[in-house]
């Protein structure tokens, strides 16, 4: 898996003159220290640029905004820290003038009961409300900490910081995103239809490539092509390929090279690929392992040209910085109303499996022949915390909508083919009813993490999508 990306936060230190200014000084130092300890770069005014490096006047707001604009490409989000009441207008002016269009987290430091005299009282509890009121007036979206007041070095703020960092990664990663759609939507899959225009309105572009072009490029590629040979080696290192014909493996390698080269040439970050059944009939393999390898490398790839499905995969991956998979809500699990079988046939990333091997695609082998369906990743999903997300374009209402939630993959026994796991989700029947009543697709993105709240916040508050958070 790829290394975690270094993040940068802008920090606005609130201050109001008739409150203890020394609190602004120590508050700036504490917040800076906490962020740097978390491995986050900090952009904040220094004490030589304003009183204690805080923002109180309009002149200081302009100064801070200019600093933020000079680092605008690097800044992922802004943290407003209130070590005392803070000047709400200066905070809002800074964000308006900077025009970063990034997530904003408002944090207020609590008072200490034994330090409530005029020399030490913060009043951040109250100041936070004023700051939020002004941000609302200015039309600037913002996020809040779990508790109304939290010290920067508290366990609560550490969790909130991790959550907020995930929000920032999702927002930055989805804006100006380019998704590759390889091939046409399979005829039988009306369920994955979507609106390119609604996605484009959110800054998400779709780059298409016809399968005929993919197949033509593969046909013209020599077996001795250096990139194909390297890809073949990568496939054999990635997954057990016992009993898989070398000819089939070489076809997969060439397919992988063509996709890699096209994505690089078109600056596409993630992909959705046609499978049923053109590739099997015209190339003689399934693309599952190639797609599994991409998803495992944080280049999410979804089957059946499910563009909105891979969007959900990518959002979870951005928040967690770990691989995502696209699964079917596929089967009940016995009589337990809170358990279900999630399945695909499969292109799940290796990250998802207890053990995995390459095999043939059991579902369509009877139609196109077993010899034309090698390349699936087969195994049972390992147990662990999981979260899920689904986005969909609602053409009738002219909006993007979605849902998120959390549960776990269990260690319950399951004998089946493909890639499958048992999930346990509190209030699953309520979720399934919501999916059906609102006409959502049967595909869902899943991730081994608990980042659903970050994805929900990013999509709803900063991208303006209609979101449902399943809470059981």
Query: 204 and 153, same structural domain?
Result: no
Query: 157 and 50, same structural domain?
Result: yes
Residue 342 contacts residue 327 (beta carbons within 8 Å): yes
Query: 183 and 163, same structural domain?
Result: no
- Say whether the peptide bond before residue 346 is cis (omega within 30 degrees of 0): yes
Range of the domain at 282: 178-469
Alpha-carbon span 358 to 290, nearest angstrom: 11
Query: 223 and 143, same structural domain?
Result: no
Domain membership of residue 1 (yes or no) is: no
- Beta-carbon contacts of 301 under 8 Å, excluding residues fewer than 6 positions away, are 270, 271, 272, 273, 290, 291, 292, 294, 295, 310, 347
Single out the residue in 126, 147, 172 at which a domain terminates. Answer: 172
Domain membership of residue 35 (yes or no) is: yes
Using alpha carbons only, give the angle 404, 410, 415 rounded to the nearest 5 degrees: 115
Domain membership of residue 2 (yes or no) is: no
Query: 405 and 371, same structural domain?
Result: yes
Query: 183 and 84, same structural domain?
Result: no
Low-confidence stretches of the chain (pLDDT beneath 50): 1
Single out the residue in 123, 155, 172 at which a domain terminates. Answer: 172
User: What is the structure's pLDDT at 2?
Assistant: 53
User: What is the structure's pLDDT at 120?
Assistant: 87
Domain membership of residue 292 (yes or no) is: yes
Query: 219 and 160, same structural domain?
Result: no
User: What is the structure's pLDDT at 324?
Assistant: 98
CATH number for the domain spanning 277: value is 3.20.14
Single out the residue in 172, 189, 216 at which a domain terminates. Answer: 172
CATH number for the domain spanning 99: value is 3.40.50.10940
Query: 424 and 318, same structural domain?
Result: yes
Query: 198 and 150, same structural domain?
Result: no
Domain membership of residue 431 (yes or no) is: yes
According to DSSP, the β-strands at 339-344 and 419-424 are: antiparallel
Alpha-carbon span 87 to 80, nearest angstrom: 11
Nearest residue to 458 (alpha-carbon basis) of 173, 115, 46 = 173
Domain membership of residue 313 (yes or no) is: yes
Domain membership of residue 463 (yes or no) is: yes
Q: pLDDT for 114-157, tens place per residue?
A: 888 888 889 999 999 999 999 999 999 999 999 999 999 999 99
Counting Cα atoms < 13 Å in the Cβ hemisphere of 253 gives: 25
- Which tokens hold the place of 464? 């303006």
- Which tokens hold the place of 306? 């499910």
User: What is the structure's pLDDT at 19?
Assistant: 81
Write the DSSP symbol of residue 375: E
What is the total count of domains within the chain?
A: 2
Query: 129 and 241, same structural domain?
Result: no
* DSSP secondary structure of 154-223: SHHHHHHHHHHHHHHHHHHHHTT-EEEEESPPPTT-GGG---HHHHHHTT-EEEEE-HHHHHHHHHHS-T
User: What is the structure's pLDDT at 462?
Assistant: 98
User: What is the structure's pLDDT at 4?
Assistant: 81
Query: 387 and 259, same structural domain?
Result: yes
Domain membership of residue 66 (yes or no) is: yes
Query: 247 and 159, same structural domain?
Result: no
Tell me the Ramachandran region of residue 321: left when phi exceeds 0, alpha when psi lies from -120 to 50, beta otherwise. left
């Amino acid at each position: 898996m790829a290394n975690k990306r270094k993040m940068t936060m802008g920090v606005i230190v609130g201050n109001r003159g008739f409150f203890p200014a020394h609190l602004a000084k120590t508050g700036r130092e504490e917040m800076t220290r906490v962020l740097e300890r978390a491995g986050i770069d900090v952009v904040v005014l220094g004490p030589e640029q304003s009183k204690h490096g805080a923002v109180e006047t309009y002149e200081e707001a302009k100064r801070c905004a200019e600093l933020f604009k000079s680092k605008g490409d690097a800044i992922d989000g802004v943290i407003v820290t209130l070590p005392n009441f803070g000047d709400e207008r200066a905070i809002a002016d800074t964000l308006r003038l900077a025009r970063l269009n990034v997530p904003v987290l408002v944090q207020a430091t609590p008072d200490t009961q034994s330090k409530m005299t005029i020399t030490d009282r913060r009043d951040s509890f109250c100041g936070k409300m004023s700051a939020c009121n002004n941000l609302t007036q200015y039309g600037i979206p913002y996020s809040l900490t779990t508790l109304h007041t939290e010290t920067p070095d508290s366990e609560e703020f550490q969790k909130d910081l991790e959550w907020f960092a995930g929000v920032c990664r999702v927002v930055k990663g989805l804006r100006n995103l380019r998704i590759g759609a390889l091939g046409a939507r399979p005829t039988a899959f009306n369920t994955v239809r979507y609106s390119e225009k609604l996605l484009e309105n959110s800054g998400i572009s779709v780059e298409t490539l016809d399968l005929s072009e993919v197949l033509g490029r593969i046909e013209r590629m020599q077996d001795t092509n250096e990139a194909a040979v390297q890809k073949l080696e990568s496939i054999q290192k990635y997954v057990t390929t016992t009993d898989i014909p070398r000819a089939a493996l070489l076809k997969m390698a060439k397919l992988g090279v063509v996709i890699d080269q096209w994505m690089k040439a078109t600056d596409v970050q993630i992909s959705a690929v046609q499978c049923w059944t053109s590739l099997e009939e015209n190339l003689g393999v399934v693309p599952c392992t190639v797609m599994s390898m991409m998803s495992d490398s944080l280049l999410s790839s979804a089957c059946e040209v499910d563009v909105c499905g891979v969007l959900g995969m990518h959002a979870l991956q951005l928040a967690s910085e770990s691989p995502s998979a696209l699964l079917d809500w596929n089967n009940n699990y016995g009589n337990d109303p809170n358990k279900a079988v999630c399945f695909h046939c499969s292109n799940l990333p290796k990250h998802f499996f207890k053990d995995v091997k390459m095999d043939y695609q059991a579902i369509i082998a009877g139609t196109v022949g077993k010899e034309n369906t090698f390349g699936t990743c087969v195994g049972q999903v390992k147990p662990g915390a999981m979260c899920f997300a689904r986005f969909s374009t609602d053409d009738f209402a002219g909006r993007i909508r979605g849902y998120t939630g959390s549960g776990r993959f269990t260690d319950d026994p399951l004998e089946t083919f493909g890639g499958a796991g048992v999930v346990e989700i509190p209030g699953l029947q309520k979720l399934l009813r919501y999916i059906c009543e609102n006409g959502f697709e049967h595909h869902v993105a899943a991730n081994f993490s608990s980042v659903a709240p970050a994805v929900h916040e990013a999509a709803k508050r900063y991208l303006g999508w209609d979101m449902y958070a399943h809470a059981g």
